[in-house]
């Protein structure tokens, strides 16, 4: 994951390479400021009335329950994408077989390899590819995979200056619910 002192890579938007990062690689406020600046310097051909109508329509069918910086029904920013992605990955690991078949093990290793190449934040993808080289997935059981993913997630958290998660609690968090019953 990028830090303040590391430059962001070039990105692709609508098939064209740009120097500016896409939403999945920056926070919503910075992205939206960049977009406003970009729109004010170019002619878009969209009238204010049409764009106001679009915004009202999107807000009218708001069923999005996101917490964070961006308005509902908008593309995910980097923080949201990361949070939801970790949720998916941890949930996949939580429901991985206790005793996986050879095919299960191949599939999960293949998934993480493909995922690291397809993740929309280029810098994050490259960082995850390096993590996979340094610490390949442990696929012998649900416990092994969940613990491995927790350690990988904590390595990323350290890079981002975020707190580490207690890996002894992964199944409470991602599969069974907290022991205090708060998820019941």
CB of 131 within 8 A of CB of 148? Answer: no
DSSP letters of the chain?
A: ---TTSPPPPEEETTEEESS--GGGS-HHHHHHHHHHHHHHS-----HHHHHHHHHHHHHT------SSSPTTS---HHHHHHHHHHHHHHHHHTS-SS--HHHHHHHHHHHHHHHHH-SSHHHHHHHHHHHHHS----SSHHHHHHHHHHHHHHHHHHHTPPPP-GGGHHIIIII--TTSTT-
- The answer on pLDDT for 86 being more than 70 is yes
Give the whole-angstrom CA distance, residue 166 versus residue 85. 19
Token pair recorded at residue 87:
């949720």
Architecture of the domain whose range is 78-175: Up-down Bundle (1.20)
CB of 139 within 8 A of CB of 127? Answer: no
Question: Is the full-model pTM beyond 0.85?
Answer: no
Kindly state the average pLDDT of the residues 50-59: 42
Task: Please tell me which residue, 132 or 33, carries the higher pLDDT value.
Answer: 132
Structure-token match 């992205």, residue found: 31
- The string of pLDDT tens digits covering residues 38-48 is 665 554 444 44
Termini Cα distance of the chain: 34
Kindly state the average pLDDT of the residues 92-110: 98
pLDDT at 72: 84
- The answer on pLDDT for 95 being more than 50 is yes
- The string of pLDDT tens digits covering residues 106-132 is 999 999 999 999 999 999 999 999 999
- The string of pLDDT tens digits covering residues 62-71 is 334 445 567 8
- The answer on pLDDT for 172 being more than 50 is yes
Give the whole-angstrom CA distance, residue 100 versus residue 93. 12
Cβ atoms within 10 A of the Cβ of 170, count?
A: 22
- The answer on pLDDT for 20 being more than 50 is yes
């Amino acid at each position: 994951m990028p830090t303040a002192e590391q430059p962001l890579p070039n990105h692709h938007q609508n098939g064209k390479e740009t120097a500016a990062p896409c939403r999945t690689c920056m926070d919503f406020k910075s992205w939206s400021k960049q977009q406003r600046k970009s729109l004010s310097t170019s002619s878009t051909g969209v009238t204010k009335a049409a764009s106001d109508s679009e915004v009202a329509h999107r807000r009218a069918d708001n069923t999005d329950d996101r917490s964070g910086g961006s308005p509902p029904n908008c593309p995910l920013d980097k923080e949201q994408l990361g949070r939801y992605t970790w949720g998916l990955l941890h949930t996949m690991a939580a429901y991985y077989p206790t005793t996986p078949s050879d095919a299960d093990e191949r599939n999960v290793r293949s998934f993480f390899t493909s995922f690291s190449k397809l993740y929309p934040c280029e810098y994050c993808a490259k960082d995850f590819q390096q993590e996979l080289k340094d610490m390949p997935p442990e696929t012998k059981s649900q416990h092994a995979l969940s613990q491995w993913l927790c350690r990988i997630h904590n390595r990323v958290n350290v890079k981002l200056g975020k707190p580490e998660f207690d890996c002894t609690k992964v199944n409470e968090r991602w599969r069974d619910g907290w022991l205090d019953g708060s998820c019941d």
